[in-house]
Amino acid sequence: MFENLQNKLDKAFKTLKGQGRITEINVAATIKEVRRALTDADVNYKVAKDVTDRVKQKALDRKVLIAVEPGQLFVKIVQEELTELMGTEAKQINLKGDPAVILIAGLQGSGKTTFSGKLAAYIKKQGKNVLLVAADIYRPAAIDQLKVLGEQVGVEVFSEPENKNAVSIVTNALAHAKRTNKKVVIVDTAGRLAVDEAMMQEIENVKKALNPTETLFVVDSMTGQDAVNTAKTFNERLDFDGVVLTKLDGDSRGGAALSIRAVVNKPIKFMSTGEKMDALDIFYPDRMASRILG
Ligand code: GDP
């Protein structure tokens, strides 16, 4: 995960960490290299600039040049800034409600259905009775996929393959959940290959009908700045509560992870690191920053 970024930051820190004399000039050069490493990782340009400006200011304030361990202090400052950039603290999902309703949104292929299965398993482990709902009215295969995952994790899947009205499906699903005493309902929605008006309108209607406890936006971290732009568009329409970053196991750059919170101002709540049902973790900004800095 994030190997390219790790290597570049490591190289940037070399002069400061090594034996060489620390001067204002090589601190400035390192800051420039850090910014370059971030933009190469597909971090939003403005985000990269703001972060490195803050690093510079902190380096001045804490007198990096005359510190006993200038290199270490500098890396610590970068670590603090990256942690803050990704949200500082882990944010949990809200499972209050009877039942709590979690709406899952995102583009097709982002990993929505896989995540829905994982989340169901994660919540079931907490001893809660969960219902998965297949609300994709365009792709029958998506319903089958969710059914397979539901079976795998031992969670009931609600679907109405003949019903072509997403709002009516989720309304029926909610009634079923109440009848069968489910505590959490996870609704996997339809995704298209690109953002389009009909899809946005449909999911807005679904959200209105469900009044969910939590709306999560799922995005493929490997798509970098595209992920950030898609997040912006979804957020404008859905005002979601959190982001789920998927496919981090294949992301060598880290641009989406580092920019999405700053650009959209919504926390990253989960990270997905594989296709298996247990490859799901809560997103901890500080751990992620430590990982990036090696
Ligand atoms: P959806 O169209 O948004 O529902 O996406 P899917 O859940 O069907 O996922 C699309 C593909 O990505 C599938 O082949 C998944 O197995 C795969 N996938 C999902 N999440 C991850 C992940 O975290 N890591 C990896 N490597 N693959 C994933």
Q: For ligand 1, atom 13, which residue shows the shortest CA distance? A: 111
Q: How far is the CA of 33 from the centre of ligand 1 (A)?
A: 34
CB atoms within 10 A of CB 65: 15
Q: Indicate which atom in ligand 1 lies nearest the CA of residue 279.
A: 23
For residue 77, give Cα distances in angstroms to 14, 54, 82, 266, 293: 15, 9, 9, 23, 11
Q: How far is the CA of 158 from the centre of ligand 1 (A)?
A: 21
In SS3 terms, 130-172 reads as: EEEEEECCCCHHHHHHHHHHHHHHCCEEECCCCCCCHHHHHHH
For residue 100, give Cα distances in angstroms to 175, 216, 264, 285: 13, 13, 25, 26
What pLDDT is recorded for position 175?
A: 97
Sign of CA dihedral 291, 114, 193, 202: negative
ipTM summary value: 0.99
Pocket of ligand 1 (CB under 6 A): 106, 108-114, 191, 246-247, 249-250, 272-275, 279
The answer to whether 266 and 240 are in contact (CB under 8 A) is: yes
Q: How far is the CA of 110 from the centre of ligand 1 (A)?
A: 6
> Which tokens sit at 107?
């583009």
For residues 130 and 154, give the distance between their C-alpha atoms in angstroms, rounded to a whole number: 9
Q: Hey, which of 275, 276, 281, 283 would you mutate to test ligand 1's pocket, going by the most ligand atoms within 8 Å of its Cβ?
A: 275
Q: For ligand 1, atom 16, which residue shows the shortest CA distance? A: 275
The answer to whether 269 and 87 are in contact (CB under 8 A) is: no
What pLDDT is recorded for position 19?
A: 59
Binding residues for GTP: 106-113, 188-192, 246-249
Kindly report whether the global pTM for this prediction surpasses the value 0.90.
yes
Q: Hey, which of 114, 118, 223, 251 would you mutate to test ligand 1's pocket, going by the most ligand atoms within 8 Å of its Cβ?
A: 114
Q: How far is the CA of 205 from the centre of ligand 1 (A)?
A: 25
What pLDDT is recorded for position 137?
A: 87
Per-residue pLDDT of the chain (294 residues; tens, 9 = 90+): 899 999 999 999 987 887 567 788 888 999 999 999 999 999 999 999 999 999 999 998 888 888 888 888 999 999 999 999 999 999 999 999 999 999 999 999 999 999 999 999 999 999 999 999 999 888 889 999 999 999 999 999 999 999 999 999 999 999 999 999 999 999 999 888 777 888 889 999 999 999 999 999 999 999 999 999 999 999 999 999 999 999 999 988 999 999 999 999 999 999 999 999 999 999 999 999 999 987
Among 5, 216, 266, CA closest to 111: 216
**Cα 267 from chain centre:** 8
